[in-house]
């Protein structure tokens, strides 16, 4: 189970994929999210391998159709296949993506150990994306979507989503 | 093990998730508070996602199924092979948590083995699902402890649910002929081997929750053979309504 392998994405397809946003977190592109595992053009057909974040994520089907639409706009045909293994991990999210996520108001995932401590309420490690304080507490392990937990800042009192570490 | 038998094995695993997901889905908009409502429906969504992966694979393996929808919505009651535990109703919040806790502990043990299946597709589904189910288990265990070690009333209701649901736990480890074939083929999980780990694990959490381990030797079974409790028919009527009223409907 290797989870660190680099995706095989052809250079000339990058800009098109960058234009496709995550329907739930529109500041992130599908590349920032790390769900594209392969994008190659073979005989006029772009073949994409998409790794869903969570099994039941309703955004997956939408991403697939948005990707096809983006390529269609550029006059290219695309086929999107779902791949389950190796399973998606928050490690595949780009650093740039994590910064954009924080600026958007969602705390990006911590390292696995820190994540566990934070979700068990043992340590205050999740940083409030509004004021930057780590004086925050867990409200619920499941937030607006399965990939996020709900937190509240005890400094500025703002509630916010934390993107859970998945590894 | 031929591909039809393999399809049956995959379907029998997924049936548990479909039916439990349906039960949890009933709580959408009816949870005791917003956070719990969202958590339970998120768990349902994870289970449905996993169910789809299994059913898509089962449909590939068996020509008798035209699609994943046909597997999910067009079978008769006796053709569903889910365990009795998951079809039990949402009697009160203690039952919702108790049923989830008793299932999650099993589910995690199952996936820990299934991820090493010689069947690459099953292994891939398990590797993905296991990350999600760890969150489910944390959620249900936390609530079990909170209610068990809570007020006098919450403890009483939590104990009542565990006592009522306990009789359905042994069935989780029953090996059907298909289960045995899958084990022999190197693709399935030996459920008997999970039993001691399961009871060990849940008794630790029950103790932490200050709840009493039920002492019963009577266990109810039959779901895996398609003999369900009375609740199943009502559940299926709800689940299948749209597909039967508007055949082949799609979102």
pLDDT band at A4 (very low <50, low <70, confident <90, very high): low
Q: How many Cβ atoms from other residues are within 10 Å of residue A156's Cβ?
A: 14
CA distance B91 to chain A (A): 23
Specify whether A72 is located in the same domain as A133.
Answer: no
Specify whether A121 is located in the same domain as A80.
Answer: no
Task: Give the CATH number of domain B3-212+220-245.
Answer: 1.20.1260.10
Q: How far apart are alpha carbons B71 and B74 in whole angstroms? A: 6
Specify whether A144 is located in the same domain as A84.
Answer: no
Q: State whether ipTM is beyond 0.90.
A: no
Q: How is chain B classified by DSSP, letter by letter? A: --HHHHHHHHHHHHHHHHHHHHHHHTTTTTSSSHHHHHHHHHHHHHHHHHHHHHHHHHHHH-TT---HHHHHHS--GGG----HHHHS---SHHHHHHHHHHHHHHHHHHHHHHTT-SSHHHHHHHHHHHHHHHHHHHHHHHHHHHHHTS-HHHHHHHHHHHHHHGGGSGGGGPPPHHHHHHHHTTSS--HHHHHHHHHHHHHHHHHHTTPPPP--------GGGT---THHHHHHHHHHHHHHHSTT---
pLDDT band at A85 (very low <50, low <70, confident <90, very high): confident
Cα dist. B43→A66, A158, B3, B126, B202 in Å? 26, 26, 30, 16, 20
Instruction: From A36, A71, A92, give the residue that closes a domain.
Output: A92
The answer to whether B111 and B123 have CB atoms below 8 angstroms apart is no
Token representation of residue A122: 């043992």
Check CB contact under 8 Å for B38 and A167. no
Specify whether A137 is located in the same domain as A83.
Answer: no
Q: What is the pLDDT of residue A68?
A: 96
B200-205 long-range contacts (CB < 8 A, ≥24 apart) are B201/B105, B201/B109, B202/B101, B202/B102, B202/B105, B205/B101, B205/B105, B205/B141, B205/B144, B205/B145
In CATH, what number is assigned to the domain containing residue A61?
A: 3.30.300.130
Report if residue A100 sits inside a domain.
no
Report if residue A149 sits inside a domain.
yes
Strand partners, A38: A8, A49
Report if residue A98 sits inside a domain.
no
Specify whether A73 is located in the same domain as A22.
Answer: yes
Check CB contact under 8 Å for A146 and B52. no
- State the pairing for strand pair A159-163/A106-107: parallel
Cα dist. B228→A158, B79, B225 in Å? 48, 10, 8
Check CB contact under 8 Å for B46 and A88. no
Out of A57, A141, A150, closest to residue B138 by CB: A141
The nearest alpha carbon in chain A to B141 belongs to: A120
Tell me the residue length of chain A: 167
Question: Domain range for residue A13?
Answer: 8-92
CA distance A12 to chain B (A): 30
With tokens 């934390």, the residue in question is A162
Buried b / exposed e along B230-245 (16+ C-beta atoms within 10 A): eebeebbeebbeebee
- State the pairing for strand pair A159-163/A77-82: unpaired
Alpha helices per DSSP H over chain A: 14-18, 30-33, 59-73, 95-104, 112-119
Report if residue A34 sits inside a domain.
yes
The nearest alpha carbon in chain B to A55 belongs to: B49
Token representation of residue B46: 């994870």
Q: Tell me how many domains chain A contains.
A: 2
Report if residue A133 sits inside a domain.
yes
Report if residue A97 sits inside a domain.
no
Q: What is the pLDDT of residue A2?
A: 45
Q: What is the pLDDT of residue A167?
A: 82
Chain A environment of B46 (Cβ under 8 Å):
54-56, 146
Instruction: From A92, A114, A142, give the residue that closes a domain.
Output: A92
Q: How far apart are alpha carbons A20 and B46 in whole angstroms? A: 24
pLDDT band at A116 (very low <50, low <70, confident <90, very high): confident
Check CB contact under 8 Å for A167 and B128. no
Report if residue A115 sits inside a domain.
yes
Out of B38, B45, B121, closest to residue A140 by CB: B38
With tokens 């439990």, the residue in question is B20
Token representation of residue B227: 């003999």
Instruction: From A92, A127, A149, give the residue that closes a domain.
Output: A92
Q: How far apart are alpha carbons A23 and A127 in whole angstroms? A: 24
Question: Is the peptide bond preceding residue A142 cis, with omega within 30 degrees of 0?
Answer: no
Strand partners, A161: A106, A150
| Secondary structure (3-state) at A66 | helix
The answer to whether B125 and B187 have CB atoms below 8 angstroms apart is no
| A72: pLDDT strictly greater than 50 | yes
Specify whether A27 is located in the same domain as A87.
Answer: yes
Domain boundaries defined on chain B: 3-212+220-245
Asked if the C-beta of B237 comes within 8 angstroms of chain A's C-beta atoms, the answer is no
The answer to whether A51 and A83 have CB atoms below 8 angstroms apart is yes
Q: What is the pLDDT of residue A1?
A: 40
Q: What is the pLDDT along chain B (251 residues), one digit of tens a residue?
A: 899 999 999 999 999 999 999 999 999 999 988 899 999 999 999 999 999 999 999 988 988 877 888 889 999 999 999 999 999 999 999 999 999 999 999 999 999 999 999 999 999 999 999 999 999 999 999 999 999 999 999 999 999 999 999 999 999 999 999 999 999 999 999 999 999 999 999 999 999 999 999 988 899 999 999 999 999 999 999 999 999 999 988 87
| Secondary structure (3-state) at A117 | helix
Check CB contact under 8 Å for B127 and A146. no
């Amino acid at each position: 189970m290797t989870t660190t392998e680099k995706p095989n994405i052809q250079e000339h397809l990058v800009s098109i994929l960058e234009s496709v946003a995550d329907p739930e977190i529109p500041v992130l592109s599908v590349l920032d999210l790390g769900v594209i595992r392969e994008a190659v053009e073979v005989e006029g057909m772009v073949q994409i391998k998409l790794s869903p974040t969570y099994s039941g994520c309703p955004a997956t089907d939408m991403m697939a159709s948005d990707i096809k639409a983006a390529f269609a706009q550029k006059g290219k045909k695309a086929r999107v296949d779902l791949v389950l293994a190796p399973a998606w991990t928050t490690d595949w999210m780009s650093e740039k993506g994590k910064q954009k996520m924080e600026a958007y108001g969602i705390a990006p995932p911590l390292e696995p150990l820190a994540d566990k401590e934070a979700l068990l309420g043992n340590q205050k490690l999740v940083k409030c994306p509004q004021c930057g304080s780590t004086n925050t507490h867990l409200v619920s392990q499941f937030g607006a979507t399965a990939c996020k937990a709900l937190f509240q800042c005890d400094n500025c009192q703002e509630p916010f989503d934390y993107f859970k570490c998945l590894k | 093990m031929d591909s039809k038998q393999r399809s049956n094995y995959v379907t029998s695993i997924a049936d548990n998730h479909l039916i439990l997901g349906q039960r949890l889905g009933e709580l959408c908009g009816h949870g005791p508070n917003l956070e719990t409502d969202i958590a339970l429906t998120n768990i349902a969504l994870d289970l449905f996602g996993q169910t789809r992966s299994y059913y898509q694979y089962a449909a590939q393996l068996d020509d008798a199924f035209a699609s994943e929808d046909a597997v999910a919505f067009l079978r008769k009651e006796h053709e569903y092979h889910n365990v009795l535990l998951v079809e039990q109703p949402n009697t009160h919040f203690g039952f919702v948590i108790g049923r989830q806790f008793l299932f999650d502990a099993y589910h995690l043990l199952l996936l820990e083995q299934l991820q090493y299946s010689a069947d690459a597709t099953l292994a891939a589904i398990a590797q993905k699902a296991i990350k999600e189910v760890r969150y489910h288990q944390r959620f249900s265990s936390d609530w079990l402890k909170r209610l068990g070690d809570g007020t006098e009333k919450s403890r009483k209701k939590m104990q009542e649910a565990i006592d009522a649901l306990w009789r359905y736990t042994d069935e989780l480890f029953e090996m059907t002929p298909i289960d045995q074939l899958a084990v022999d083929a190197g693709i399935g999980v030996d459920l008997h081997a999970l039993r001691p780990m399961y009871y060990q694990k849940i008794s630790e959490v029950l103790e932490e929750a200050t709840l009493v381990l039920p002492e019963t030797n009577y266990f109810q079974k039959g779901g895996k053979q398609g003999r369900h409790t009375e609740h199943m028919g009502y559940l299926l009527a709800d689940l299948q309504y749209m597909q039967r009223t508007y055949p082949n409907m799609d979102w």
